[in-house]
Structure 1
Amino acid sequence: MRYLLPVSATESIPPPTPGADPRPAPGRVPGQDPRVQWGLSLAVVVVGALTIRPMGLGGQGLAVAVLFVLNSAALLARGVPEHRVPPRVALAWLTSGIVAAAALLGASDSGTGYLFAYFVAGHIGYRLETGRALTLAVTCSLLCAGVLYFHLGPGDPELPWVLGLTTGVPVVVGILNRTQRQAVRSALSAAESAERAARAEARTAVLTERGRIARDVHDVLAHSLAGINMQLELADALLDTGDLEKVREATTKAQGLVKESLKQAQWTVHALREDALPLLESLTAMVESSGHRDALTVTGTVREVPAQVTQNLLRIAQEALTNAARHAPGGKAEVELTFTAASITLRIRNRPATRAVTPGAGSGMGLIGMRERVALLGGSVSAGPVTEGPDQGGWQVETVIPG
């Protein structure tokens, strides 16, 4: 009896191609190239067909031929995608495979029939969970060793029965490959989860930015257009009285509001482009353009602050000054900017109106916008009437930003 010993009988996993997409194609197991697996299986079948003897149409040759076909089918079934084979079917198929491999060893007189046992044992470790895989591998070793022992005898010089015990060893390689496959799948799953989280974060950032743009548009359009509209309505009402001086005064104020609106539009463009604006200089220009000279008081050591803090503080000041002009016309306004080691405080206080207040409906978004801006910076804002002191009857807005 003559047998050919194997050079390799383990599952092969090729290294990844540099630059290739790490995600597996549909039906493909991560970390395993099916072409290599099919190639190895076909090679074992071809070598077996050329070496296993006897093989014919009658007697022992027919039995060997039938067992060879069964072993070839069990081996080639390794190429079927895992998701298409239920666990119970896989267990039955691999159990039948090791029985057929042991039977082929007993029926044949020579050849490489034991290669079927090696490759099936390796795939057992790859396809089944560890407990069942080890049980089947031990069964494969005992069956093959027993067949060789009783068929050849303990002293056969060409193929010792001890070799049969090694047929279950490739199960270890299969288990290692399965572990690698699971690690690859876990990595892919984690990458997909991270990608979904990144998309959700990007969407949140987009929605936040839309809210910021909406607040800026409100600050520019709602306030400035409301003021311009009030002056034009006043001018239209004064036309009936024939008081051209007052009409001219109203139109002049409307023109001033238009110029102010252009400045505010520039501030908005800076904010949307995230250009860095100097806080103190910008706040000074804003207070003076609102008609309040020398109304800004600065306390503490002036320092540079992040662009986002500057933009939001300027918008809050703009909101408060516009509301003061609308609801307390003629009333003096004071702006205080205080720097401490732990925070920046902006306080805008206006005195009661000295002129008649023109009724008008606001958008209702002013205080909401302030709170949203301050919340983004982790600060606090308070707004309410002044109940004591020389400014009693006026209104105050105070914002505290940490940092």
Structure 2
Amino acid sequence: MPGQDPRTQWIPTLFLIVSALWTVEPQGLSGRGLACTVLIVVNSLVLATRHVPEDKIPPRLTAAWLTFGVLTAAALIGVSTGGASYLFAYFIVGHIGFRLEPRTALTLAALCGVLCTVALYFHLGTGHDLLPWTLGFTTGGPVLIGMLNRSRHRAVLAALSAAESAERAARAEAQAAVLTERGRIARDVHDVLAHSLAGINMQLELADALIETGDLEKVREANQKAHSMVKESLKQAQWTVHALREDSLPLVESLTAMLDSSGHRDALTVTGTVRDVPSRVTQNLLRIAQEALTNAARHAPGGPVQVELTYADTSMTLAVRNGPATRRVNAGVGSGMGLIGMRERVALLNGTITAGPVVTGPHEGGWQVEAVIPG
């Protein structure tokens, strides 16, 4: 059986061989003794061959040597005059049930029973007078035990194969999840840093070129833009860190931390009963909120910001509103996502998104982004 020590499987075989050599008579180098000795050796070899793995012997050869084993086992009963010679028949038939297909195994078991019965009935071995001839029929019985062990053996192999397949699938899934997470982190970091660093580098190169012209006012302006971009990049980096932690932080806490890091404390309003949502919903809503806050900081600096998260029975709504700018608007660089990226994220969740100017209320003249997610 799988997982069983091969040395343990050899114990019954060696015990039977030693018992036969010790008890079976006659043994010698001539006449019946020589025939009995040869048959003991042959039966021992047939019995020992059962420990050879199935895939090492072709099925036809297996059937041939087990058929030969049935014949030699019956012959040993007929030639010997005493001892445990009949045990070879029991062991060989049991292995027939384990090694061969049911129809072939039952046929050989019946053949063994008939041959052993004939040997005992006609008292071919004079020492077997004390054994009833009907004992020969019982030598075919162990085939059922062998067939049962065969079924159990195959069930164990199937279970091991299924477990190995499940383990391989789990490893592949885990690897795919790691690669997906790496891709997501790389994409988020790229959105935050790539364009910002490119813009900062451009402003610094411009300042360097303006130094040679002696126009200090334009140098200061380029330097201020670079500083502004650095501050915005730092804010976006903080938001990204929070977004990357959405698997360990609930949505409300993550939004609160994001708003606090951007300087909009107490800007979040939650309506309805808060409930747990899938991590991918949390991830995409946080990225939508991050992009909306980035756009507000870029296009309406100094304007008030209000974020509303509404839990309805069958949906969730995230709305980000900002008022008009109260400070000078400086041209900046995007995060690489924009409204198209927000629409793609919402589409992944089978939701809808609207964006446009605010025409009424305290944020009139500002901008509003509203995403509705089912579930």
TM-score by length of 2: 0.78
Aligned equivalents of 1:286, 1:36: Cα separation in 2 = 68
Shift of residue 163, structure 1, vs aligned partner: 0.8
Structure 2 counterpart of 1:70: 42
Conserved 8 A contact 2:291-2:335: no
Question: Any idea what SS the aligned residue of 1:346 has?
Answer: strand
Given the alignment of the two structures, is residue 90 of structure 1 paired with residue 62 of structure 2, yes or no? Answer: yes
For the residues of structure 1 that align with 2:97 and 2:355, how far apart are their CA atoms? 74
CA drift of 1:212 comes to 2.3
Displacement of 1:168 in angstroms is 1.1
| 134-143 or 57-66, larger mean C-alpha shift | 57-66
What's the offset of the Cα at 1:87? 0.8
Letter in 2 for 1:45: I
> Is this contact kept in 2: 1:334–1:349, CA < 8 A?
yes
Paired position in structure 1 for 2:101: 129
In the alignment of these two chains, the number of paired residues is: 364
Instruction: Answer whether contact 1:379 1:401 (CA < 8 A) is retained.
Output: yes
Q: CA deviation at 1:304?
A: 6.8
Paired amino acid for 2:101: E
Query: In 1, are the aligned partners of 2:123 and 2:129 still within 8 Å (CA)?
Result: no
Residue in structure 2 matched with residue 35 of structure 1 by the alignment: 7
Query: Aligned partner of 1:82: which letter?
Result: E
Mapping for residues 348-367 of structure 1, pairs under 5 Å: 348=320, 365-366=337-338
More helix by share: 2
Q: Is 1:213 the counterpart of 2:188 in the alignment?
A: no
Q: Is the 8 A contact 2:95 2:146 kept in 1?
A: yes
Which of residues 182, 206, 229 is equivalent to 1:257? 229
Change (3 A) 1:345 1:218: farther
C-alpha distance in 2, partners of 1:382/1:359?
Answer: 24
Pair 1:337 & 2:308 matched: yes
Aligned residue identity for 1:55: Q
- Cα pair 1:219 1:319 within 8 Å, conserved: no
Q: Is residue 2:253 matched to residue 1:278?
A: yes
Structure-1-length-normalised TM-score: 0.73
Q: Which moved more, 1:33-42 or 1:274-283?
A: 274-283
Instruction: State the shift of 1:349 in Å.
Output: 6.7
Question: Are 2:134 and 1:144 aligned?
Answer: no
Matches within 5 A, 1:165-204: 165-204=137-176
Q: CA 1:66–1:242 in 2, change beyond 3 Å: closer, same or farther?
A: closer
Distance in 2 (alpha carbons) for counterparts of 1:75 and 1:366: 77
Contact 1:30 1:184 in 2 (8 A): yes
d(CA) in 2 for partners of 1:256, 1:77: 84
Distance apart, 1:185 and its partner CA: 0.6
Distance (Å, rounded) in 1 between the aligned partners of 2:306 and 2:117? 96
Kept in 1, the 8 Å contact 2:77–2:85? The answer is: yes
Work out the CA distance in 2 between the residues paired with 1:203 and 1:110: 66
Q: Offset of 1:97 from its aligned partner? A: 0.6
1:161 pairs with 2:136: no
How far apart in 2 are the matches of 1:302 and 1:60? 95
What is the Cα deviation at residue 38 of structure 1? 2.4
Structure 2 unaligned spans of 5+: none
Residue identity (%): 60
Equivalent residues of 1:336, 1:348 under 8 A apart: yes
Q: How does 1:53-68 map to 2 (within 5 A)?
A: 53-68=25-40
Q: Aligned partners of 2:81 and 2:257: how far apart in 1?
A: 98
The answer to whether the 8 Å contact 1:223/1:322 transfers is: no
Structure 2 vs 1, CA of residues 318 and 146 (structure 1 numbering), >3 Å: closer, same or farther? same
Instruction: Tell me if structure 2 keeps the 8 A contact 1:381–1:399.
Output: yes
Partners in 1 of 2:276 and 2:57 — Cα distance? 64
Asked if structure 1 preserves the Cα contact closer than 8 Å seen for 2:242 and 2:257, the reply is no
Amino acid of the structure 2 residue aligned with 1:170: P
Q: Which amino acid aligns with 2:56?
A: R
For 1:339, the aligned partner's letter is T
Q: Which moved more, 1:204-213 or 1:367-376?
A: 367-376
Q: What secondary structure does 1:53 align onto? A: coil
How far, CA to CA, are the matches of 1:182 and 1:213 in structure 2? 46
Q: Map Cα deviations across residues 164-201 of structure 1 (whole Å, 9 max, x no partner).
A: 11111111221121122111111101110110111111
CA distance 1:195–1:165, shift in 2 (3 Å): same
Are 1:380 and 2:351 an aligned pair?
yes
Maintained 8 Å contact 1:140/1:167: yes
Give, in angstroms, the shift of residue 105 of structure 1: 1.2
CA apart distance, 1:211: 2.5
Q: Provide structure 1 residue ranges, at least 5 long, that are not aligned to the other structure.
A: 1-28
Q: Is the 8 A contact 1:219 1:315 kept in 2?
A: no
Measure, in 2, the Cα distance between the counterparts of 1:315 and 1:231: 27
- RMSD between aligned alpha carbons? 4.1
The structural deviation recorded for 1:262 is: 2.4
